[in-house]
Amino acid sequence: MAKLLLQVEECKKEKFDIISEKLFEGKIKGQEVFLLAAAYGYKYKKRLPLTGKKADLSRKEYLRDSDWALISAIVYSTVETKEELKSLDSDKILSVIEEYANGGIDILFSEYENTSESQMFFEKFEADLLKMAREILGKMEGQ
Amino acid sequence: MRGLEKAKAESEELRDKKIKEKKVYLMKIAPIIYSWNALVSAYGLIGKISESENLPSIDDIEIIKYTLKKGKCIVCGHTISEETRIRLSKNLEQLEKAGEFAKLKSRIERKYLSFVEEIKALQGKLQSLNEEIRVLDKSISMYANEINKITDILRRYGNDEIRRLAEILPKYQSQRDNAIKTIGALEDKIKGYQKQLNDLEEALMEQLKKEEELKKLSRYIEFTQKLLKRTKEAKLSLKEDIRQKLEEKTENEFFSLMWKKDFFEKVSLDEDFDVHVYNFLGMDVVGELSGGERKVLTIAFALALHDVAGSKSPLVIDRPLTNISGELPTKKVIEMLSQIANEKQIIVFLTPNEANDEMRKLLVKDASNILTVSNKDGTNATLTSTQEV
């Protein structure tokens, strides 16, 4: 049966909720935190298979085209052969991305916890993103 | 001071809103930037696969589906040949075999360029948001300074009265605001009551008008009742008056015509104008009168009626001798008629039997004119004057 839900480890569900409610003051939804966590996992190369009991975070349909483009790209980057790439379907892609989100949420939550105020988290977050964006644009110009 | 505090609070609210907007923006752009290497890698890889395996894009699939459905080329509008249709169907089959890979590939292809644009816009967008936040922070700081200055001034003066007034001012302003609201509510109530009052007055006026009409109607009824009573009384009085006159006249005529004057004592009319004749013993003998006596009574009553009615017309008596037997009564009736004729014109009808020779002798003596109606041939009647005085 095709996967309908985005799942996380039950013991980490609270981390997703805290990031959504406290860090982003309820302005972002479960699947958006999931995507951020997965991106964190990819950035820090931390992919953890889900163990133990699982909890439902959001429904698959809530993922937009742009979200699918990102998670597909992340998952494609993990395969080595063309055949493997062509054999990926949405269920396989979601299973892999859940592992990245499982690893990424630990890092994201740790950064949040290590800053005494959310202001500090965002200052670092913003600086980090700006730095990376400049590097990306620099590379593009170099090409 | 209150105005400054309000402006400061509004600026703080706006600044917080902008900060939240920035947080959400950062959260949404972060996955693109963090996954950028994967995107570049995937974009390159699927490009190579497309080239080597000649995979068309999802857009191509849609074009082929449209062309097959309509049977026409989507670009030039020409009807496709059977050969083309078969070739396109095969292509579509191959494409659909590619399944989800083609879809995912298409998503990455379509989104890649928009992601590039978003990354390019990041710096400008952040600068803009930060500038807005900085301006708001500056305003907040300025308002805070102004508030502090005023507070300092108040503190420097150290005037307890000023402080006390400054403290109670908001209370009175609040009371004033409440009073304005209360006045507004009361005005609304007054308007409501005024409307009710107007409605009641209108209803009252309507009622008074009805009562007035009822009074007027009542007076009309009272007047009509009185009028009716008077009319009834007048009618009764007139009726009684007529009855008395008629009774008196009938009695006078009866006794002047009647030959048995000692036997009868009184003639009267009851309230229904029924005639009664009493004998000398005081008994009502109207039912026992002979034909001649009854005829006398009838003529007396008719004369009385004629007189009381004030009629000047001739008195017509049809066959006054009917039911009268005997010479005396007949003679008396003729005499009576002769006597009446002294006062008013009378016309008497008699049959041939009644108008016999003997009767004619009597009539000739008193009648002014005797006319004979004959009908010998059975068709035409003739009128002959026998006597004219």
**Residues A56-75: pLDDT tens digits?**
988 888 888 889 989 999 99
Average pLDDT over residues B222-228: 93
Mean pLDDT, all residues of chain A: 89
Band of pLDDT at residue B29, cut at 50, 70 and 90: very high
Pairing of strands B275-279, B264-269: antiparallel
For chain B, the helix, strand and coil percentages under 3-state DSSP, each to the nearest 5: 75, 10, 20
- Predicted local confidence at residue B214, as pLDDT: 92
CB B23 to CB A122 under 8 A? yes
Q: Do residues A98 and A7 lie in contact, with contact meaning Cβ atoms separated by under 8 Å?
A: yes
Q: How far apart are CA B283 and CA B35, in angstroms?
A: 149
Closest CA to B368 of B344, B341, B388, B340: B388
User: How close does chain B come to A141, measured CA to CA in Å?
Assistant: 11
Across the interface, which of B36, B108, B123 has its CB nearest the CB of A69? Answer: B108
C-alpha distance from A53 to closest chain B C-alpha (Å): 27
* B387 has pLDDT over 70: no
Report the percent of chain A where pLDDT is more than 90: 52
Q: What is the DSSP string of B263-281?
A: TEEEEEE-TT--EEEEETT
Residue B140 has pLDDT above 80, yes or no: yes
pLDDT at B56 over 60: no
- pLDDT of B388 strictly over 60: no
What is the pLDDT at residue B232?
A: 92
User: Is A24 within 8 Å of B27 when comparing Cβ atoms?
Assistant: yes
By C-alpha distance, the chain A residue nearest B111 is: A66
Q: How far is CA B174 from CA B8, B166, B178, B179, B343, in A?
A: 20, 13, 6, 8, 117
Cβ atoms within 10 Å, residue B331? 16
Residue with tokens 């894009």: B57
B190's enclosing H/E stretch is helix B160-257
Question: What is the distance between the alpha carbons of residues B244 and B267, in angstroms, rounded to a whole number?
Answer: 11
Alpha-carbon distance B336 to B328, whole Å? 12
Give the rounded percent of residues in chain B with a pLDDT score beyond 70. Answer: 91
pLDDT by residue (tens digit) across B269-303? 998 889 999 998 899 998 888 877 888 888 889 88
Return the higher-pLDDT residue of B48 and B224: B224
ipTM for the assembly = 0.93
pLDDT band of residue A135 (cuts 50, 70, 90) is very high
In one letter, which amino acid is B230?
Answer: R
Do the chains contact at A88 and B100, CB–CB below 8 Å?
yes
| Full 3-state SS string of chain A | CCCCEEEEEHHHHHHHHHHHHHHCCCCCCHHHHHHHHHHHHHHCCCCCCCCCCEEEEEEHHHCCHHHHHHHHHHHHCCCCCHHHHHCCCHHHHHHHHHHHHHHHHHHHHHHHHHCCCHHHHHHHHHHHHHHHHHHHHHHHHHC
Task: Kindly report the average pLDDT of chain B as a whole number.
Answer: 84
CA dihedral B88, B91, B96, B97 (to 10 degrees): 150
Q: How far is CA A53 from the centre of its chain?
A: 20
Residue B291, token pair as written in the block: 């034909």
Which residue is associated with the tokens 């009381």?
A: B308
Q: Please, which residues have CB within 8 angstroms of residue A25's CB and are 6 or more apart in sequence?
A: B20, B23
The strand pairing partners of B267, in sequence order, are B277
Q: What is the pLDDT of residues B169-188, one digit of tens each?
A: 778 878 888 998 899 899 99
pLDDT over threshold 80, residue B100: no
The one-character DSSP state at B387 is: E
Q: Answer whether B23 sits within 8 Å of A27, measured CB to CB.
A: yes
d(CA B299, CA B297) in angstroms, rounded, equals 6
The verdict on B129 touching A (C-beta cutoff 8 Å) is: no
Q: What is the mean pLDDT of residues B91-116?
A: 75
Residue B154 touches chain A, beta carbons under 8 Å: no
Cα B348 versus chain centre, distance: 73
In chain B, the residue whose alpha carbon lies closest to the alpha carbon of A34 is: B31
For testing contact with chain B, the best of A47, A60, A70, A93 (most B CBs within 10 A): A70
Residue of A nearest to B107 (CA): A69
CA distance B60 to B202: 82
The answer to whether B11 and A20 are in contact (CB under 8 A) is: no
